[in-house]
Amino acid sequence: MKIVFYNRTLLSGGIEKCIELLSKSIYKDYDIDVVYTHTDKLDPNIVEVLSRYANVYQLGDKVVECDIAIWCFLYFDYHTLKNQIKAKKNICWIHSMPRILPDCLLDNAEFINDMDEFICVSEAVKNHLNISKEGKVIHNLMAEDFKELSNINSKEYNPNILNIVVVSRLSRGKGFDRLLKLADTIKNMRLPFSMTIVGKGRADEEKIKNSFNHHPNVEFVGYQENPFRYIKNADYLVQLSDDESWCNTITEAKILGVPVIVTNFESAKEQVEHLKNGILIPLDADDYQEYVELAYHYKDILKDNLKDFVFKNEIDLWYKLFE
């Protein structure tokens, strides 16, 4: 059976990570292609990783016939591409909050009618799926070996200070303005801390890095194929995004026994219980001192609460779709 994933381009982002994890889980059972149409922002690191499990190539004017097409992007000329990616079954995989913007395929009757399944990565996404067909929720997969990967050259942190790790694309919407406010607050409270930021960006990367110039204890380490070694021994994973459909790094941190500090975007409540396994900060919070105090006070309590956390991959739900 042949499965084709389509994305507009392949960059360092959540969609690509999801394609990687699903491909890695099924490539021994299926013939997999990952195709893209645009080379702008194409990340050779991501292409290399995906090529371990799939045939990766630019579609160009090729015609590809397959059993299942998984459409991972919602803004493209579907009428043209459906004649190049010809599938017996079509699955729309929605990784972001559905918002009807110009050219969004969730407002395209032809696309909706052709799709056999709409897969949402969270209940929050499903609740916003305002179309004639019902969506199904399959949470993002976790790499089966990432706990082992976290042991490889895992970063050691100073146990006498608060150690924060951020794993995120360096771009607008990922909350780096809030992260700077958090760092400034901790500094103004004269509390010792370190912050390690894992990830790369696009147009905003240098601007984001420069905004932290007055924080010598904030380290940017760039793209890391194995970010788990940075998470493992941290006190908190922090994600202060404007919005997330489903945040893989939150689940990864919890599995590794690391509590999280996140903004209370809509899907966060599906992953984080305030003062149970993490700390939720309101999106419009102006004063972060209260949350810094909670972070110091609850650090050991939250870690202890995560000792029994178990996450089960829902790969069986994907196999049922492929039957």
User: Would you put residue 212 in left (φ > 0), alpha (ψ -120 to 50) or beta?
Assistant: alpha
Supply 315's token pair: 């790969």
Give the pLDDT band (50/70/90) at residue 101.
low
- Reply yes or no on whether the pLDDT at 201 is more than 90: no
Where is pLDDT greater, at 45 or 184? 184
Give me the pLDDT at residue 230, please: 97
Comparing CA positions, the residue from 122, 139, 140, 146 lying closest to residue 258 is 146
Q: Please name the residue that has the structure tokens 């729309």.
A: 92
Give the pLDDT band (50/70/90) at residue 203.
confident
How large is the average pLDDT for residues 228-247?
A: 95
- Reply yes or no on whether the pLDDT at 212 is more than 90: yes
- Reply yes or no on whether the pLDDT at 99 is more than 80: no
- Reply yes or no on whether the pLDDT at 185 is more than 90: yes
Give me the pLDDT at residue 296, please: 95
- Reply yes or no on whether the pLDDT at 100 is more than 70: no
What's the rounded Cα separation, in Å, for the pair 75 and 37? Answer: 12
| Complete DSSP assignment for 144-188 | TTHHHHTTTTPPP--TTSEEEEEE--BSTTS-HHHHHHHHHHHHH
Is the CB of residue 118 less than 8 Å from the CB of residue 133? yes
Residue 236 has phi, psi (to 5 degrees) of -145, 145
Give me the pLDDT at residue 143, please: 85
Lowest mean pLDDT among 8-12, 63-67, 119-123, 296-300: 8-12
Is the CB of residue 241 less than 8 Å from the CB of residue 266? no
How large is the average pLDDT for residues 20-35?
A: 97
Residue count (the chain): 323
Give me the pLDDT at residue 292, please: 97
Degrees to nearest 5, angle at CA 233 with 292 and 45: 105
List b or e across 4-39, with b for residues whose CB sees 16 or more CB atoms inside 10 angstroms: bbbbbbbbbbbbbbbbbbbbbbbeeebebbbbbbee
Give me the pLDDT at residue 280, please: 98
* Burial (Cβ within 10 Å: 0-12, 13-18, ≥19) of residue 228: buried
- Reply yes or no on whether the pLDDT at 202 is more than 80: no
Where is pLDDT greater, at 6 or 244? 6
Strands of the sheet containing 117-120, edge to edge, are 55-58, 31-36, 2-6, 64-71, 85-94, 117-120, 136-137
Tens-digit pLDDT profile for residues 106-127: 989 999 999 999 999 999 999 9
pTM for this model (two decimals): 0.87
- Reply yes or no on whether the pLDDT at 188 is more than 90: yes
How large is the average pLDDT for residues 65-77?
A: 94
Kindly list the structural domains of the chain, giving each domain's residue range(s) and its CATH number in brackets, ordered by start.
2-138 (3.40.50.2000), 146-305 (3.40.50.2000)
- HSE at residue 207, side-chain half, CA atoms within 13 A, is 9
